[in-house]
Structure 1
């Protein structure tokens, strides 16, 4: 586990919860009993708005099948990022704009994330581009924030193209540079 990323995520989550406690509508989501999560703070009928919050994962999610299928070792910082919390996506502000940190809601969501990441890596290989692992959505539809799996740098990339710029030297630095945005 990458300690710097873990501590940066803990700090971000703490600020996110502090910022969202004052908003009456913040941290509400439609309840779906078919999509269980430890994040639900209450139960309800299907479709009811219920409160939720990020919950620290107690058992590390396993990337073994993902790594074996691709013949790749996942950068430890991105592994730690996705293994830190169960959560809905988290809105944040960076000096270059707003973003949403991609999070996993439950184990089925983690499986879906892995499938999407496999497709992303296979596309990068087909295009003979550096392998990146996405972790955030930007305001622009076809731009994402990713981690260069070899270097650990946080990069801005347009889907299907080589990264446009390095945003941060590592994921922990990036997480420390963003501020939470009140949930919509």
Structure 2
């Protein structure tokens, strides 16, 4: 297992442990067309409780890579192959972040389509290729891996990356803490 996968797995386990010990549940939008292996209990107001479920069948990114003529950074492939989930809310020194995860196996198709769209936008704008993995409270700011180096940047949508947050995805994940 890669360092990224180990670090993300550890964050997921610790976060769940704390939530359960505090009697908290995590909630996400319940897709009516397809249930997630993460969800449990009844759907309430289109929301369902969830816990992360570790991926058993790895996501195959080869079609995306072939179509884009681009090899995804190994950290991104490792990251998205850890768990299904509804998005893990954590804290970074810059503010709250939500780590993105596919909701179920079929959702990996949507994830790959979004990555393709993002890469094509970056190319059209003649910018360095980044791959997103988290969002912030500001809808215009993403957390992305610079595909050529593996460094983590705060990225304003449509703009070249400028603000480096970590030298690697593992380093970035290590800098996160559970929300208070």
Count of aligned residue pairs for this structure pair? 180
1:173 aligned partner: 171
Q: How does 1:134-173 map to 2 (within 5 A)?
A: 134-173=132-171
* Larger CA deviation: 152-161 vs 48-57: 48-57
CA shift for structure 1 position 74: 0.5
Residue 19 of structure 1 corresponds to which residue in structure 2? 18
Contact 1:30 1:46 in 2 (8 A): no
Task: Report the alpha carbon displacement of residue 33 of structure 1 after superposing the two structures with TM.
Answer: 4.8
Q: Which runs of 5+ in 1 are unaligned?
A: none
CA distance in structure 2 between the aligned counterparts of 1:45 and 1:94, rounded to whole angstroms? 31
Contact between 1:32 and 1:47, CA under 8 Å: does it hold in 2? no
Name which structure has the greater RCO, CA cutoff 8 Å, separation 6+.
1
Conserved? CA contact 2:122–2:128, under 8 Å: yes
- CA offset digits 1:132-159 (Å, max 9, x no partner): 0001111222111100000000011111
State the TM-score, normalized to the length of structure 1: 0.90
Distance 1:126 1:28 in 2: 36
Offset of residue 35 of structure 1: 2.1
3-state SS, counterpart of residue 110 of structure 1: helix
SS at match of 1:151: coil
Are residues 16 and 127 of structure 1, via their aligned partners in 2, closer, same or farther at CA, if it must alter by over 3 Å? same
Report the secondary structure of 1:179's partner residue: coil
Q: Report the aligned-residue RMSD.
A: 1.9
Pairs within 5 Å for 1:75-114: 75-114=73-112
In the aligned structure 1, how far is the partner of 2:7 from the partner of 2:84? Answer: 16
Is structure 2 residue 72 aligned with structure 1 residue 74?
yes
Q: Equivalent residue for 2:27?
A: 28
